[in-house]
Amino acid sequence: MDFNKQKQQDWQASTLAIHGGHQPNQHGALVSPLHQSATFVFDNAEQGGARFAGDEAGYIYTRLGNPTTAELERKMALLEGADDAAATASGMAAVSSALLTHLQAGDHLVASNAVYGCSFALMTTQLDRLGISCTMVDFSDEQAIRSAITPATKVLFCETPVNPHLTVFDISRLVDIAKQHQLITIVDNTFMTPLLQQPLKMGVDMVIHSATKYLNGHGDVIAGIVCGKAEHMHKLKFEILKDFGAVISPHDAWLILRGMKTLDVRLTRHCDNAEQLANYLDSHPKFSKVFYPGLASHSGHQFIGKQMKRAGGVLAFELDGDMQDAIKFVNHCRLMTIAVSLGDAETLIQHPASMTHSPYTPEARAQAGITDNLLRISVGLEDVSDIIADIEQALASIG
Ligand code: LCS
């Protein structure tokens, strides 16, 4: 990386989210220019050849690198404590690129049985087509993980906290298991962002994000990020992303750079609102279970202040009743918007069994603890009293 990393490494995360990776530009613009260009001009044919050969630094073609994208990648590498980062076209491109960096036909992957629905589909269906097998187990059960490992296993993969029911896994324990078997660990850090959790600093090899969520924060971009060690990132960028092609648009990278300037203040508000909402739901007789690591009753609570700074802005709960009652409740929400995604200013409510986790088979969903009456809320930035009032009126409407 060709920037003043030493100086920037000393900054706090909230400062890095604003200034990290920024370099002076030609006209001294405060906001880094958007380099919306597919290709870059060579002074002469020799220079073009030298850039392709890797003998001269400089941009070639945006699928191989772009100055706007590079600023986002430097910022994320600094925030996660990584050697390097790569921005991708979506969170799923980040998940698939990270996995394909380490896996090939004949290899085996052990993954948590509760992950985002399309990560489940990728690991159980698409990778299977490529000859990469996957065993999914409960990552809270150390013995289950150990039993799933075979001589062909190369990677351990999980999200923590888990989408949609916020189970938290012990990252240091997973790293210990992986080290004993010489496995690569990949953690999806989407629900936390590096401001709340830094898995690489706990020994994880690769971290991935759906940047669609908190990093961008404004609901107008689909993107992903992978962070990791230099040799892994080199393979990911200059083999996997180069040849499979799932790179980010520079415009989307630019929007994420803008969004990240407010990441710290947004996350503080998301967490404050989610804590208050979780306490409200937990004390209400109509909600039989509330899943939020910020609650003392949640199994993940022991990790708050250790592995993760705060519990984040997503919570889930089971409404007293069946799936039809849950659907009816959702349909009566007025302020809370019925939509998937998370990490936006707007509070979003969705029904995981029929929406985000519909790629699961009913059996796999049951094993992962995703019940038919489970609802997930991505708590937004509104005044929390308005969100609570919306829940009250929805409950009153369904009787
Ligand atoms: N990882 C996690 C933990 C996610 O929640 C998602 C998307 C992805 C990866 C994939 O990211 P994408 O390609 O969508 O940028 N989660 C979604 C969700 O819960 N609702 O809609 C998308």
Q: To test the ligand 1 pocket, which listed residue (189, 207, 210, 348) has its Cβ within 8 A of the most ligand atoms?
A: 210
Q: Whose CA is nearest to atom 22 of ligand 1?
A: 341
Scan for tokens 């030298």, then name that residue. 50
pLDDT of 9 strictly over 80: no
Boundary residue ending a domain (200, 230, 260): 260
Q: Which of 88, 96, 97, 118 has most ligand 1 atoms within 8 Å of its beta carbon, as the pocket-test mutant?
A: 118
Q: Do 123 and 189 fall into the same domain?
A: yes
Are 230 and 289 members of one domain? no
pLDDT at 7 over 90: no
pLDDT tier, 122 (very low <50, low <70, confident <90, very high otherwise): very high
pLDDT of residue 2: 45
Q: Which residue range forms the structural domain that includes residue 295? A: 263-398
Confidence grade of residue 5 (pLDDT, cut at 50, 70, 90) = low
Query: Residue 129 pLDDT > 70, yes or no?
Result: yes
Residue that is last in its domain, among 260, 289, 311: 260
User: Does 18 share its domain with 165?
Assistant: yes
Question: In whole numbers, what is the pLDDT of the chain averaged over residues?
Answer: 97
pLDDT tens per residue, range 42-61: 999 999 999 999 999 999 99
The per-residue pLDDT for 6 is 59
- The answer to whether residues 269 and 208 belong to one domain is no
Each residue of 351-376: pLDDT tens digit?
999 999 999 999 999 999 999 999 99
Pairwise CA distance, residues 318 & 326, whole Å: 8
Entry field: residues in the chain: 399
* pLDDT at residue 399 in the model: 82
Q: Which residue has the tokens 């986002």?
A: 72
pLDDT digits (tens, 9 = 90+) for 94-104: 999 999 999 99
Ligand 1 neighbour 96 (Cβ under 6 A): no
* Cα separation, 390 vs 343, whole angstroms: 19
Residues 207 and 156 grouped into a single domain: yes
Summarize the confidence of residues 116-143 as an average pLDDT: 98
What is the C-alpha to C-alpha distance for residues 202 and 294, in angstroms, rounded to an integer? 21
Domains in the chain, number: 2
Q: Are residues 326 and 383 in the same domain?
A: yes
Looking at the chain, the whole-number percentage of residues with pLDDT higher than 70 is: 98
CATH code of residue 282 = 3.90.1150.10
Give the domain-ending residue among 201, 233, 260: 260
Provide the whole-model pTM: 0.97
Residues 217 and 361 in one domain: no
Q: Is 92 in the pocket of ligand 1 (CB under 6 A)?
A: yes
Q: Is the domain of 117 the same as that of 248?
A: yes
1 falls in which pLDDT band (50, 70, 90)? Answer: very low
Q: How far is CA 292 from the centre of its chain?
A: 17
Q: Which tokens go with 51?
A: 């850039």
Give the Å distances, CA to CA, from 77 to 126, 261, 270.
29, 16, 24
Tell whether 60 and 175 lie within a shared domain.
yes
Which of residues 34 and 398 earns the better pLDDT score? 34
Q: Are residues 292 and 226 in the same domain?
A: no
Q: Are residue 123 and residue 269 in the same domain, yes or no?
A: no
What integer pLDDT is reported at residue 10 of this predicted model?
Answer: 87
The 10s digit of each residue's pLDDT in 293-335 is: 999 999 999 999 999 999 999 999 999 999 999 999 999 999 9
